[in-house]
């Protein structure tokens, strides 16, 4: 679960900068799925980067998986980060590592045994339909394939919180349907999931509770 109370955020922490997020309060229980909606510039990516511990709120209270983020020490934050999966809009794959090694990375950071890593990577890559591309380098893949690798890397260690920024924008309808089925399954297994999108048709097709932002303000919150 995560909880935000009166959270504001401005890029560069500047007080004169226009706030990317203003006075956001949210409470999402464990194992729930939320769409994160709003037009471009509404603050969706900013909110996801706070949840992924990539950015620090300028003001307010952030609690993720029971950890009060603003007061947490570096070690606690590092442990918390390993329980959060993130799918970025630009994928952020390591271009010099092949698909296998990109997806294996989170498990290697957990010092899992190589045999177990290999088993997990093959299973997840089969699921995303890329089991034949394990040796490819990310720049050799299409946008949709890179997006599926990024998704596999984010979910391989079954994070307790998963945040995804426009994770279907490079996928075709069939792949998007598969991905949303996987997200719903992960939520059933206990992962809290927030998916940002400005694609209204996909939201209509897969109805779920939504959080909506406009100009950095919360304009809708399902409870
Ligand atoms: P969304 O993801 O909904 O498109 P963002 O969180 O990216 O919205 O942007 C929210 C606001 O923050 C916008 O006004 C945007 O211009 C601004 N912004 C986004 N990224 C940066 C940045 N790196 N530096 C300064 N301002 C930014
Ligand atoms: P089939 O129904 O023929 O067994 P699948 O439904 O397993 O095929 O896969 C159909 C297509 O969807 C494949 O091209 C595969 O690459 C892609 N795909 C499978 N799983 C996912 C997923 N989780 N995310 C995105 N694309 C996927």
How far does residue 176's CA lie from ligand 2's centre (Å)? 10
96 found inside a domain: yes
The answer to whether 143 touches 170, Cβ cutoff 8 Å, is: yes
How far does residue 101's CA lie from ligand 1's centre (Å)? 31
Pick from 4, 134, 110, 94: nearest CA to 56: 4
At 223 the pLDDT is 54
126 found inside a domain: yes
102 found inside a domain: yes
118 found inside a domain: yes
Residues 22, 46, 165, 77: what is their CA dihedral angle, to the nearest 10 degrees?
Answer: -110
Q: Tell me which residues have their CB closer than 6 angstroms to ligand 2.
A: 127-129, 148, 171, 174-175, 178-179, 182
Q: Can you give the pTM of this predicted structure? A: 0.86
Q: What range does the domain containing 89 cover?
A: 29-55+74-222
217 found inside a domain: yes
What ligand is nearest to the CA atom of residue 151?
2
Report how far residue 214's alpha carbon sits from residue 197's, in angstroms, rounded to the nearest whole number. 13
Q: Which residues contact 62 (CB under 8 A, 6 or more apart)?
A: 2, 3, 4, 7, 50, 68, 69, 70
What ligand is nearest to the CA atom of residue 196?
1
68 found inside a domain: no
At 14 the pLDDT is 62
1 found inside a domain: no
159 lines ligand 1 (CB under 6 A): no
Atom nearest to 127 CA in ligand 2: 20
At 222 the pLDDT is 74
**Domains of the chain: total:** 1
45 found inside a domain: yes
Give the pairing of strands 59-64 and 67-68: antiparallel
Q: Where are the beta strands (DSSP E) in the chain?
A: 2-9, 21-28, 33-37, 59-64, 67-68, 84-87, 161-165, 192-196, 210-214, 217-221
The enclosing domain of 183 has a CATH number of 3.40.50.300
pLDDT along the chain (223 residues), means of 10: 96 74 96 95 96 95 97 94 94 97 94 96 94 97 95 94 94 90 92 93 92 95 71
At 15 the pLDDT is 62
């Amino acid at each position: 679960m995560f909880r935000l109370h009166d959270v504001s955020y401005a890029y560069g922490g500047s007080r004169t900068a226009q706030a990317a997020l203003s006075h956001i309060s949210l409470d999402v229980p464990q194992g729930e799925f939320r769409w994160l909606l709003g037009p471009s510039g509404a603050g969706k990516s900013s909110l996801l980067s706070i949840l992924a511990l990539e950015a620090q709120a300028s003001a307010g209270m952030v609690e993720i998986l029971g950890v009060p983020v603003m007061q947490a020490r570096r070690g606690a934050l590092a442990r918390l980060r390993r329980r959060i999966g993130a799918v970025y809009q630009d994928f952020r794959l390591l271009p010099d590592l092949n698909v296998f090694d990109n997806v294996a990375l989170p498990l290697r950071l957990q010092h899992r045994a190589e045999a177990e890593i290999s088993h997990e990577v093959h299973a997840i890559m089969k699921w995303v339909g890329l089991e034949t591309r394990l040796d490819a380098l990310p720049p050799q893949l299409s946008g949709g394939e890179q997006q599926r690798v990024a998704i596999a890397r984010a979910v391989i260690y079954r994070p307790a919180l998963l945040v995804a920024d426009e994770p279907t924008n490079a996928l075709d309808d069939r792949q998007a349907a598969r991905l949303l089925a996987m997200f719903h399954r992960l939520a059933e297994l206990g992962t809290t999931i927030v998916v940002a999108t400005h694609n209204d048709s996909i939201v209509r097709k897969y109805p779920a509770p939504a959080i909506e932002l406009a100009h950095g303000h919360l304009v809708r919150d399902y409870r």
